[in-house]
Amino acid sequence: MIQINKIIPPTLDLYAPDGTHLGCINEYEFLDARVQIKKEQTFGYYLIFNGKKVRLDKNGELEEYPNGLLDSMSGFYCQLL
């Protein structure tokens, strides 16, 4: 029999271009924010991951994708292959 594991979704701190902390957001909220950035073609937003600033461009893309950043889902999917 399987057991249900309580998994707390990882979160990120998202910041506006002026440095205002917008909140601690989960993966779904982060994807939504990226879509909004792309729709508005705005820039300067960034997140902090493992103490490092990671910027998002006007298309909602990360300037770099640090290892371990919101990779829980992809890790589970890989185990299903």
User: Along the 81 residues of the chain, how does pLDDT read in single tens digits?
Assistant: 999 999 888 889 999 999 999 999 998 899 999 999 999 999 999 999 888 999 999 999 999 988 888 877 778 888 998
Q: What angle do CA 48, 52, 58 make, to 5 degrees?
A: 60
Domain count, the chain: 1
pLDDT value of residue 16: 98
Asked, for residue 2, whether it belongs to a domain, the answer is no
pTM of model > 0.75 = yes
In a domain, 22, yes or no: yes
In a domain, residue 24? The reply is yes
pLDDT at 23: 96
Q: For residue 42, count other CB atoms closer than 10 A to its CB.
A: 15
